[in-house]
Each structure stands twice: as C-alpha cells, then as structure tokens.
C-alpha cells in the first residue's frame, strides 16, 4: 500500500522545447519581406543604442510591442508588420544575452530569434555605434560615433520555435529527509488490503428435495478464514475455497481508496480534488497514474495559511496559467482556460515503462551515546514509492484525449478553425505530433474534441499544447486523458459551496445541476449531440402565514 503525500509544485519552472531551425532558412524567410533588417531592425537598434537600452535584462520582461511603441514615441519609424521577425514575436520579450558594453560581439534575443552585432575591428563600445545608410542589400553596418569606417554588422542568427510547458519540484517532507512514519500516516493506520469470499457447495445440493426456509442455504464444510492459535489470530491458508475478490492498491492521505484491482488484473481508480475532499473522476479499467481530468475549478480554494508542506500534486498542473482562467465562458462549472490570440499553452508529463510495486524503507541504526553503547534507532527513511504517483501513463498503451473548445468569435460553419489541440509524443531520437479533431456538433458555442493516441513503447514524454491560431482568444475546458479501453466519469463542483454542478459521462457530455438560492435542486439538464435538453424541473415553496 502506498500512502499519499502532501506536496505540490511550489517552484514553477518553464521548460522550452526548442526545435532549432537553420539560421539560413529564417533569414531567407525574413529577406522575402521588404528589407527586414534595414527597415525594421535598423531603426529599432538605433533607438536601443541612443536610449541606453541595449543591455536590457531578461528579468525586466520588456515586451517587443511596448519597445516598438517607445521607439515610435521617440521618433523612430518602425513597421513591425513588414518584418517577419518582429511580427511573429510582437508579444514576446526582448533582452540582451551580452552583459558588457565592450567586446567583439553583442547578442540579444528578439522573441524566438537571436540577433547579433559583430565587430570586425576587435573590441568596440556597442553604445557608441552609429548605423550606416542601407545600400540596397538587407545588411546593416555600423561605424564609431565621429568616424566613418564600418566596423560592425547586424545579423539575424538562429531562430527557434519555442513552446513552453510548466514543470517543477517541491521539497518533500516525506522522502527527502528522515521521517516519523506514524506522524506522516505511513504506519499505524489499519486499512483494508483485500476482501475474500468463500466459494464452495451448499448443503442442499438436491434440487428435488424441498428446502427448509429457515435452515436451508448453509455452506458445506465451512472453515473460518482466521483461527485462534496460542491466543493469536492467524490466517488459514485455504486458497481453494477462500478466494479474494478485490485488492486496494492505493490509498489517499484522507483514507480514500484511490486504486483497486480484481483477480483478473483489471484496475479501477479515482481522482480527488478540492483539497482531496471530493472525487473529480472515477475510471474503470485504468490505473490511477493513467488518468487525468481538469476543469480548472479548484485552483482558488482558500486553504489554511499555516500550511508548511507541499500541497497535493495534480495530474496536469495548470497553476502557471491561473491568471488566464476565465469566468465569462465555461463549458461546466465557473472557469475555463483562456488562450490569448496567437498564444500556445503547454502542459506535459513523462511516460513510465512499468508501475512500481515495491516499498522501500530503511532503518538507520547506530550505537547510543550512553555508556552501554546499545544499538539504537537513529532515523527512518522511505523511498519515493510511498507517494501517490502523478499522471504518468504507461508507454506502449493507447490513450484517449477529450476536451471542450470554444472560440471567442461566432462560428459561421460546422467546426472551429482558429484553434489547435496538439499532442506531442517524444521519443529518445524524435517526436510525433497529433492534432485532435472535432467530434460532434457545436453545442451552445462549445465543441468537443476527441483523439485516440497510439503511444510507442519507447515513448519518453507526452505534451498537450492548447493553441489559438486565429485573431481571437480560445477557451478550453473539461480536459481529460485516460487509456483507450477505459471508462471515465468526471465531476465538477462549485468552488464556493461544493455543490455538484455537472457530471460528465463516458463520452465527456455533461449533465448540469441547477439550484435555487436555498440550495435545492430545481433543474436537471443533459448535453446531447442535438443540444442541451432540460430533463427535469421542479418548483416548491413554503406556505406563507395567513393572518386572521
């Protein structure tokens, strides 16, 4: 049995998967514009030099759009729409990769691209450079202030396609230090491991003999599962008649059953949210680590201010995007994830080859400091297997992804076209990207996406990218992944009063629950392929006092 660990991603790190493209191919694309370097980068760098902003630090988070605005206000004519490098990175940051004002090369990042000023005259002061007039070629040269000889050239270097996903770690109060297993709940709690039933004949085996209603039905040759031996209860190893029906393989920190399996090796699992108080998804024929669901509802729960350990890990943790959770559009519940126009939000996890069934615990002993020097216990340490696993599916199995999508503009056709849900499977040597397709009609502005995913046996990680490819924001909600042959039901609660707001069935279609001000259920709606239908509706009231 594994015990739950209270931990969370307290330190967020953005990991960029950089697919490096050749600098020449990017320069060719830029050169197809109207003198990109001369018409766009030249006035931009003239402004950076004269305004002493050439060494802008990454920590300042200077967006290129605001930088261009400042340059225009200072009198520099910059048209970012005529330059691919600026147009593509208009909402990205500009910062210097070089920390010194004197050297042979100055490097800076313009969004996803690297730009450099390279000297042909040894060490130079970059803030003393002045640009030469362009001669027709897409090349910018520079001379020293007060002289005329060209000594440096502006170049576009390597460009990247960057898509970020959050990851991180947190100090573990269980596995990263010596622990008291009783304080952390790893010992001292008696919980069910297996349940058994006796399978054998009844005493009444003749169908032609009438059975007595009071005394019939007793088991022939019944034996107890436990027997008393020297004042101790011991198990009688009868594996022929006593057969186990179910085994609990994972428990949560609140004592909930998180994963069970039957004698045929079929797993059932449950995901808990809202500070591990309520079930948010239950799955059949799926392990705990193979399922994930997120409706973005419980990220703002008011938890105790005295929490000093890590919070519970989420399957997919969208905490870095909390500022993009939206309350104006939602498929179920009160929140959805808003992806700004032209943006991409990513979330990912690693694959595993097999689930661990071991439980490592080590007792460190040493001689006491007393005169007798007896052997005493110094510390107890446990392995990471004691913790509940996060979403980390098994490689080589087929998965199913489902999500609901809504674009910020009215759809004129039968499907949305300004968004993408991309699943990238990375292997040791390459990667495969799968674009999910709509599955069904647009229902009240929302469209369901569903995509089977064949995972190779050598898969390393899976990343889910949510993209807005058009000029309007896109909203995503009720995202889930699970094995293809599994069945999942998920639940959405109100983050204020924890009432059930929606239940999503095996096909990710919702049943909505509506309440009155007193908390009484008044309306039940069902989402179907033909729209949302009201199933039941009730009204009631208290009789008002009648005055004489």
Q: In this predicted model, what pLDDT tens digit does every residue of 312-343 receive, in sequence order?
A: 678 888 988 999 999 999 999 999 999 999 99
- What is the pTM for the complete model shown? 0.66
Q: Rounded to the nearest 5°, which phi and psi values hold at 53?
A: -110, 15
**CA–CA separation, 5 and 175 (whole Å):** 9
Of 191, 200, 198, 286, the closest CA to residue 245 belongs to 198
- Pairing relationship of beta strands 278-284 and 292-294 according to DSSP bridges: unpaired
Token pair 């006035």 in the structure block, residue:
43
Which tens digits make up the pLDDT trace of 462-473?
Answer: 999 999 998 999
In sequence order, the 6+-apart residues with CB closer than 8 A to the CB of 177 are: 381
**Of 22-31, 162-171, 423-432, 485-494, which one has max mean pLDDT?**
485-494
- DSSP secondary structure of 115-179: EEEEESSSSEEGGGEEEPPP-SSS-EEEEETT--SEEEEEEEEEEEEEEEEEEEE---TTTSS--
**CA–CA separation, 15 and 429 (whole Å):** 19
- Pairing relationship of beta strands 325-326 and 292-294 according to DSSP bridges: unpaired
**CA–CA separation, 456 and 540 (whole Å):** 57
Residue 260 — pLDDT band, cuts 50, 70, 90? very high
State yes or no: pLDDT of 42 exceeds 60: yes
Per DSSP (E only), the strands in 333-458 are 336-339, 344-350, 361-367, 375-382, 398-407, 419-427, 431-435, 437-443, 446-454
Q: Are the C-beta atoms of residues 145 and 158 closer than 8 Å to each other?
A: no
Structure tokens at 287: 């392990």
**CA–CA separation, 84 and 156 (whole Å):** 12
Q: Of residues 477 and 518, which shows the higher confidence score?
A: 477
**CA–CA separation, 231 and 208 (whole Å):** 45
Q: Are the C-beta atoms of residues 289 and 393 closer than 8 Å to each other?
A: yes
Residue 479 — pLDDT band, cuts 50, 70, 90? very high
State yes or no: pLDDT of 165 exceeds 80: no
Q: Are the C-beta atoms of residues 456 and 427 closer than 8 Å to each other?
A: yes
Per-residue pLDDT at 161: 55
Per-residue pLDDT at 172: 67
List % helix, strand, coil for the chain (3-state, nearest 5): 10, 45, 45
**CA–CA separation, 113 and 161 (whole Å):** 9
Residue 160 — pLDDT band, cuts 50, 70, 90? low
State yes or no: pLDDT of 2 exceeds 60: no
The residues facing 419 across adjacent strands are 468
With 0-12 CB in 10 A as exposed, 13-18 as middle and 19+ as buried, what is 436? buried
Per-residue pLDDT at 140: 86
Q: Are the C-beta atoms of residues 301 and 520 closer than 8 Å to each other?
A: no
**Of 111-115, 443-447, 537-541, which one has max mean pLDDT?**
443-447
What DSSP designation does 300 have? T
Which tens digits make up the pLDDT trace of 16-32?
Answer: 222 223 333 333 333 33
Which domains are delineated in the chain? 21-165 (no CATH), 172-205+235-264+354-388 (no CATH), 266-352+392-489 (2.60.120.260), 493-537 (no CATH)
Which tens digits make up the pLDDT trace of 43-101?
Answer: 889 999 999 999 998 878 888 888 888 888 888 888 777 777 888 888 888 999 998 88
Q: Of residues 477 and 543, which shows the higher confidence score?
A: 477
**CA–CA separation, 317 and 324 (whole Å):** 14
State yes or no: pLDDT of 487 exceeds 90: yes
In sequence order, the 6+-apart residues with CB closer than 8 A to the CB of 349 are: 315, 316, 390, 391, 392, 393, 461, 462
Per-residue pLDDT at 199: 87
Q: Are the C-beta atoms of residues 298 and 275 closer than 8 Å to each other?
A: yes
**CA–CA separation, 13 and 2 (whole Å):** 28
Q: Are the C-beta atoms of residues 29 and 71 closer than 8 Å to each other?
A: no
Distances (CA, A) of 113 to 18, 26, 71, 86, 348: 11, 9, 20, 10, 24
Distances (CA, A) of 40 to 48, 54, 502: 13, 16, 52
Q: Of residues 530 and 165, which shows the higher confidence score?
A: 530
Rg (CA), the chain: 32
What DSSP designation does 358 have? -
Per-residue pLDDT at 170: 57
State yes or no: pLDDT of 401 exceeds 70: yes
* Lowest-confidence segment of 32-46, 58-72, 223-237, 376-390 by average pLDDT: 32-46
**CA–CA separation, 116 and 54 (whole Å):** 11
């Amino acid at each position: 049995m594994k015990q739950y660990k209270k931990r969370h991603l307290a330190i967020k790190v953005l990991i960029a998967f950089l697919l490096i493209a050749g600098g020449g191919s990017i320069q060719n694309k830029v050169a197809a514009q109207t003198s990109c370097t001369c018409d766009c980068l030249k006035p931009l760098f003239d402004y950076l030099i004269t305004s002493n902003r050439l060494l802008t630090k990454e920590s300042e988070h200077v967006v290129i759009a605001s930088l261009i605005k400042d340059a225009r206000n200072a009198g520099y004519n910059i048209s970012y729409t005529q330059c691919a490098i600026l147009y593509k990175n208009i909402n990205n940051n500009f910062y210097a990769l070089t920390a010194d004002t004197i050297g042979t090369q100055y490097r800076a990042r313009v969004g996803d691209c690297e730009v450099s000023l390279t000297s042909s005259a040894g060490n130079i002061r970059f803030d003393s450079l002045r640009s030469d007039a362009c001669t027709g070629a897409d090349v910018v040269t520079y001379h020293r202030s007060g002289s005329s000889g060209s000594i440096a050239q502006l170049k576009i270097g390597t460009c990247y396609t960057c898509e970020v996903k959050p990851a991180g770690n947190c100090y573990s109060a269980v596995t990263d230090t010596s622990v008291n297993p009783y304080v952390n709940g790893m010992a001292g709690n008696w919980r069910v491991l297996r349940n058994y039933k006796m399978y054998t004949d009844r005493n009444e085996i003749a169908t032609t003999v009438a059975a007595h209603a009071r005394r019939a039905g007793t088991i022939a040759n019944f034996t107890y599962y436990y027997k008393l031996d020297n004042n101790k209860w011991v198990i009688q190893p009868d594996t022929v008649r006593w057969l186990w029906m179910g085994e609990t393989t994972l428990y949560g920190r609140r004592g909930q059953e998180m994963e069970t399996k039957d004698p045929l090796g079929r797993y059932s699992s449950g995901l808990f949210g809202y500070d591990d108080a309520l079930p948010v998804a239950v799955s059949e024929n799926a392990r705990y680590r193979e399922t994930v669901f997120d409706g973005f509802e419980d990220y703002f729960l008011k938890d105790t201010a005295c929490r000093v350990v890590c919070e519970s890990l989420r399957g997919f943790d969208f905490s870095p995007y909390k500022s993009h959770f939206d309350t104006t559009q939602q498929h179920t519940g009160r929140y959805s994830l808003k992806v700004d126009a032209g943006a991409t939000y990513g979330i990912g996890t690693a694959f595993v080859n097999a689930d661990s069934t071991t439980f490592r615990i080590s007792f460190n002993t040493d001689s006491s400091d007393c005169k007798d020097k007896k052997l005493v216990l110094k510390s107890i340490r446990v392995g990471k297997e004691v913790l509940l696993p996060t979403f980390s599916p098994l490689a080589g199995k087929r998965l199913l992804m489902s999500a609901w999508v809504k674009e910020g503009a009215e759809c004129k056709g039968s499907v949305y076209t300004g968004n993408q849900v991309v699943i990238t499977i990375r292997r040791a040597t390459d990667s495969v990207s799968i674009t999910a397709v709509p599955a069904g009609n647009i229902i009240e502005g929302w469209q369901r996406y569903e995509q089977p995913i064949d995972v190779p046996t050598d898969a390393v990680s899976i990343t889910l990218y949510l993209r807005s490819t058009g000029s309007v924001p896109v909203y995503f909600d009720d995202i889930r992944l699970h094995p293809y042959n599994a069945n999942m039901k998920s639940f959405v609660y109100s983050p204020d009063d924890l009432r059930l707001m929606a239940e999503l069935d095996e096909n990710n279609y919702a049943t909505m629950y509506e309440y009155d001000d007193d908390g009484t259920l008044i309306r039940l709606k069902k989402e179907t392929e033909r729209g949302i239908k009201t199933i039941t509706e009730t009204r009631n009231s208290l009789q008002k006092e009648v005055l004489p």
